[in-house]
Structure 1
Amino acid sequence: MEGYPQLASLMGTYPILSIYRRFSVLNARNLLYLQAELVDLEQQLKDYTLEDIQSGDRERKLHARNWYFLSRVPDGGVSCAQWYTMLAIRGKLKEYNECLLQQRQLAAFSAPDPGNLAFLNSWLADPRQGNHTLEGLGGNLWRDDPKDLLVVAPNLVNDSFARLVQNRLLQYYHNIINVRFKAPSDVERQLYHYQEETVLRLADTIGTVVSALLPILAVVVLYCVQNMWARLGLVALFTVLFSLVLSWVATGKRIEVFAATAAFASVQVVFVGSTAV
Structure 2
Amino acid sequence: MAGANIEMVTLPNQPRRRYLEGFPSFSHFIAGDRQEAIYRRFGSLSARNLLYQQSELHRLEHELEVYDAEDAQDLDDVAAQQRARQWESVATDDSDNARLRRELQLKIKSRVKEYRPDEALLLESRILALYPPSERVTGFFKSWFFWDSLPVLWGLDEHLFDKESDLVALSSDDTDRLNMLLLRYIGWLFKSKEDNNDRLRPQTYHVADHRIHRAGAVISVLLSVSLLIGGMVCLTLVANRSVGLRLGTIILFTVMFAGVVGLLTNARRAELFGSSAAYAAGT
Paired position in structure 2 for 1:149: 167
One-letter code aligned to 1:213: S
Residues 260 and 114 of structure 1, relative CA distance in 2, 3 Å threshold? closer
Are 2:87 and 1:64 aligned? no
SS of the counterpart of 2:226? helix
Cα distance in 2 for residues equivalent to 1:101 and 1:221: 57
Structure 1 residue 58, shift from structure 2 partner:
1.4
Structure 1 residue 30, shift from structure 2 partner:
1.3
Structure 1 residue 137, shift from structure 2 partner:
1.7
Paired position in structure 2 for 1:192: 205
User: Alpha-carbon deviations, 1:50-96, whole Å to 9, x = none?
Assistant: 222334531322333334434x2446721243454344334433412
Structure 1 residue 147, shift from structure 2 partner:
1.0
Residues 178 and 109 of structure 1, relative CA distance in 2, 3 Å threshold? closer
Q: 1:89 aligns with which of 96, 108, 122?
A: 108
Cα distance in 2 for residues equivalent to 1:185 and 1:29: 43
Are 2:255 and 1:240 aligned? yes
Percent of aligned pairs sharing the same letter? 30
SS of the counterpart of 2:132? coil
Q: When the two structures are superposed, what TM-score results if normalisation uses the length of structure 2?
A: 0.76
Are 2:29 and 1:10 aligned? yes
One-letter code aligned to 1:60: A
Cα distance in 2 for residues equivalent to 1:6 and 1:37: 42
SS of the counterpart of 1:29? helix
Structure 1 residue 250, shift from structure 2 partner:
5.5
User: Contact (CA 8 Å) 2:133, 2:167: kept in 1 or not?
Assistant: yes
Q: Which runs of 5+ in 2 are unaligned?
A: 1-19
Q: 1:224 aligns with which of 237, 251, 261?
A: 237
The residue correspondences of 1:96-115 to structure 2 (distance < 5 A) are 96-115=117-136
Bigger Cα displacement from structure 2, 222-231 vs 52-61: 52-61
Cα distance in 2 for residues equivalent to 1:74 and 1:208: 81
SS of the counterpart of 1:20? strand
Are 2:84 and 1:51 aligned? no
One-letter code aligned to 1:263: A
User: Contact (CA 8 Å) 1:185, 1:193: kept in 2 or not?
Assistant: yes
One-letter code aligned to 2:222: V
Q: When the two structures are superposed, what TM-score results if normalisation uses the length of structure 1?
A: 0.77
User: Contact (CA 8 Å) 1:214, 1:242: kept in 2 or not?
Assistant: yes
- How many pairs align? 256
CA RMSD of aligned residues (A): 3.0
Paired position in structure 2 for 1:271: none
Structure 1 residue 240, shift from structure 2 partner:
3.4
User: Contact (CA 8 Å) 1:21, 1:148: kept in 2 or not?
Assistant: yes
The residue correspondences of 1:127-276 to structure 2 (distance < 5 A) are 127=148, 131-142=150-161, 144-152=162-170, 154-157=171-174, 160-161=176-177, 164-165=178-179, 167-175=180-188, 177=189, 185-190=195-200, 192-225=205-238, 226-249=241-264, 254-268=269-283
One-letter code aligned to 2:25: Q
Bigger Cα displacement from structure 2, 25-34 vs 78-87: 78-87
The residue correspondences of 1:24-39 to structure 2 (distance < 5 A) are 24-39=43-58
